[in-house]
Amino acid sequence: MEPQWTEKDFLRCSGSTKLAREMAAAAPFADLDHAVQYARDIWFNKVDVKGWLEAFAVHPEIGATSKPISQWSKEEQSAAMATSGGSTMQELIEWNARYKEKFGFVFLICASGRGSPEILSELKRRFVNRPIVELEAAAEEEMKIIELRLKKLFDSKLRTSSSQTAQVSAGKHEGVIGGHLMAVAKVLSEKPTVTAGRTRPPITTHVLDTARGSPASGLEVRLEMWKGAQSSPSIAERDSRSWVLHGSSITNSEGRTSPLMAITDDVEPGFYRMSFNTGIYNPSGFFPYVSIVFEIRESQKSEHFHVPLLLSPFSFSTYRGS
């Protein structure tokens, strides 16, 4: 029997009504990976900052007891609660309050499998971020939570639909169930967790206009890889044809690009260059373009590299995100 999907189902995965509505409209999904990829696109390209804050607001603080906590939140925080000494938990509560006062939203972290000391350390590390940087970090953590909860949702739907199918199909050939359920079961058995493979390209970016306090849309971005005879590029070869184009895109209303490279588990080690056509975006600005060159080592090929640009007419900065 075909599982039924509703907005309420997807609201359990995220408090964003926009994401829940879009996911319910697109359901059913061929498999879990398809659902996760669709959710990522909605979360980062269609849900605005107001929608992010809406989703953040439904999360309890780590260790919170003052308001109802869902079963999934309890499960995700179980490791933190099991490793929380009295002094650690008190310090975590105090830092949560300081964080919320500074940023205006609850500290977001995918707490599954993480102990209280690790969570407290991460909270302190991120506390020094600028608000615009921390908003992005919180959105990335929320997406990790959404992925975990989609897995739980698929597991729940599979169990319910399997039970209903068994009742309807009593007496028929054993193991015959709906084609959709077979596809989902196959995915869940072969890929027990979402993290078994990538759900996005290994190199991504976004552009924020720090002068306006908003995403920078309509900005051309290019990703290239060094293929020269020398093992590494030099500053004198910035215009060399040894830089081979991987992909290009224009940033959308959220300052994000479409994929600049294919989704692959292991990215090719080497030197990469991310270039931004800032002169077109800011004609009266100081920078005609901005190029960021970075190296991915052999030991890092399975990691994710998020290389954003924080831009104003007369300054820019970048960092390696997650």
Domain limit, last residue, from 120, 151, 182: 151
> Are residues 147 and 222 both part of a single domain?
no
- Residue 165, classed as helix, strand or coil, is helix
Supply the pLDDT for residue 252.
87
CATH number, domain containing residue 83 = 1.10.3330.10
Q: What is the mean pLDDT of the chain?
A: 79
- Reported confidence tier of residue 207, pLDDT bands at 50, 70, 90: very high
Is residue 246 marked as binding? no
* Residue 275, phi then psi, degrees to nearest 5: -120, 140
Supply the pLDDT for residue 292.
94
Is residue 319 marked as binding? yes
CA distances from 201 to 70, 114, 232, 262, 292 (A): 32, 26, 23, 6, 18
- Reported confidence tier of residue 206, pLDDT bands at 50, 70, 90: very high
Residues 121-139, mean pLDDT to the nearest whole number: 89
Q: Work out whether the CA dihedral 50, 55, 61, 66 comes out positive or negative.
A: positive
Supply the pLDDT for residue 208.
92
Would you say residue 158 lies in a domain?
Answer: no
- Exactly one of 59, 173, 304, 306 is catalytic; name it: 59
Would you say residue 173 lies in a domain?
Answer: no
Would you say residue 181 lies in a domain?
Answer: no
pLDDT single digits (tens) 247-265? 888 888 888 888 888 888 8
CATH number, domain containing residue 211 = 2.60.40.180
Task: Say what the pTM is.
Answer: 0.50
pLDDT single digits (tens) 48-61? 889 999 999 988 77
Angle at 263 between CA 259 and CA 268, to 5 degrees: 105
Contact yes or no for 223/258 (Cβ under 8 A): no
Question: In 116-242, where does DSSP find H-type helix?
Answer: 116-127, 131-168, 179-190
pLDDT single digits (tens) 163-195? 554 454 444 444 433 444 444 444 444 433 333
Would you say residue 38 lies in a domain?
Answer: yes
- Supply the DSSP string of 87-115, one letter for each residue: HHHHHHHHHHHHHHHHHSSPPP---TT--
Domain limit, last residue, from 135, 151, 167: 151
Is residue 256 marked as binding? yes
Domain limit, last residue, from 91, 120, 151: 151
- In the predicted model, is pLDDT for residue 11 greater than 80? yes
Least confident of 24-38, 78-92, 255-269, 290-304: 78-92
> Are residues 125 and 226 both part of a single domain?
no
Domain that holds residue 254: 203-318
Contact yes or no for 143/110 (Cβ under 8 A): no
Supply the pLDDT for residue 13.
86
* Region label for 178, one of left (φ > 0), alpha (ψ between -120 and 50) or beta (otherwise): beta
Contact yes or no for 290/311 (Cβ under 8 A): yes
Least confident of 93-107, 122-136, 238-252, 304-318: 238-252
H or E stretch at 272: strand 270-276
Residues 1-22, mean pLDDT to the nearest whole number: 83
Q: How far apart are CA 91 and CA 236, in angstroms?
A: 51
Q: How far apart are CA 216 and CA 66, in angstroms?
A: 39
Would you say residue 168 lies in a domain?
Answer: no
Residues 279-293, mean pLDDT to the nearest whole number: 91
Supply the pLDDT for residue 191.
39
- Provide the number of structural domains found in the chain: 2
Question: Which long-range contacts does 134-137 make (Cβ < 8 Å, 24+ apart)?
Answer: 134/103, 135/49, 135/52, 135/103, 136/206, 136/208, 136/308, 136/321, 137/108, 137/321, 137/322
pLDDT single digits (tens) 223-241? 999 888 787 887 766 666 7
Would you say residue 272 lies in a domain?
Answer: yes
> Are residues 211 and 289 both part of a single domain?
yes
Q: Is 59 one of the annotated active-site residues of the chain?
A: yes
pLDDT single digits (tens) 71-120? 555 555 544 445 455 577 788 888 888 999 999 999 988 877 777 788 88
> Are residues 135 and 233 both part of a single domain?
no
Q: How far apart are CA 274 and CA 268, in angstroms?
A: 15
> Are residues 107 and 231 both part of a single domain?
no
Supply the pLDDT for residue 90.
82
